[in-house]
Amino acid sequence: MEYEHILVERDGPVGVITLNRPRVLNALSPELIAELGHALDRLDADPGVGAAVLTGGEKVFAAGADIADMAERTAVDQLLRDQTGRWQAVTAFTKPLVAAVNGYALGGGCELALMCDLIVAGDTARFGQPEINLGIIPGAGGTQRWPRTVGKYVAMEINLLGQPIDARRAYRLGLVNRVVPAEVTVAVAVDLARQLAARAPLALRLAKEAVNRALETPLSEGLAAERKSFYFLFATEDQKEGMRAFLEKRRPEFKGR
Q: Which residues are catalytic?
A: 65, 108, 111, 131
Q: Closest CB to ligand HXC among 139 and 201?
A: 139
Consecutive H or E run containing 54: strand 51-55
139-178 mask for ligand HXC (x: CB under 6 A)?
Answer: xx--------------------------------------
**CA dist 168 to 87, 107, 159, 225, 229, Å?**
28, 19, 19, 35, 36
CA–CA separation, 52 vs 189, rounded Å? 9
Say whether residue 84 binds ligand HXC (CB under 6 A): yes
Residue 13, φ and ψ in degrees, nearest 5 = -85, 10
Tell me, by CB under 6 A, how many residues bind ligand HXC.
Answer: 21
What's the angle, vertex CA 94, arms to CA 92 and CA 98, rounded to 5?
95
CB 27 within 8 A of CB 63: yes
Using CB under 6 A, which of the segments 117-125, 132-140, 169-177, 229-237 binds ligand HXC? 132-140
Say whether residue 131 binds ligand HXC (CB under 6 A): yes
Say whether residue 13 binds ligand HXC (CB under 6 A): no
Q: Which residues of 153-172 are buried (b: 16+ CB within 10 A; e: fewer)?
A: ebbeebbeebebbebeebbe
Position among 8, 36, 43, 63 found at the interface with ligand HXC (CB under 6 A): 63
Q: Closest CB to ligand HXC among 35 and 66?
A: 66
Q: Closest CB to ligand HXC among 67 and 223?
A: 67
CA–CA separation, 16 vs 8, rounded Å? 6
| Residues of the shown chain interacting with ligand HXC in the complex, contacts defined by CB under 6 A | 24-25, 27, 63-68, 83-84, 104, 106-108, 130-131, 134, 138-140
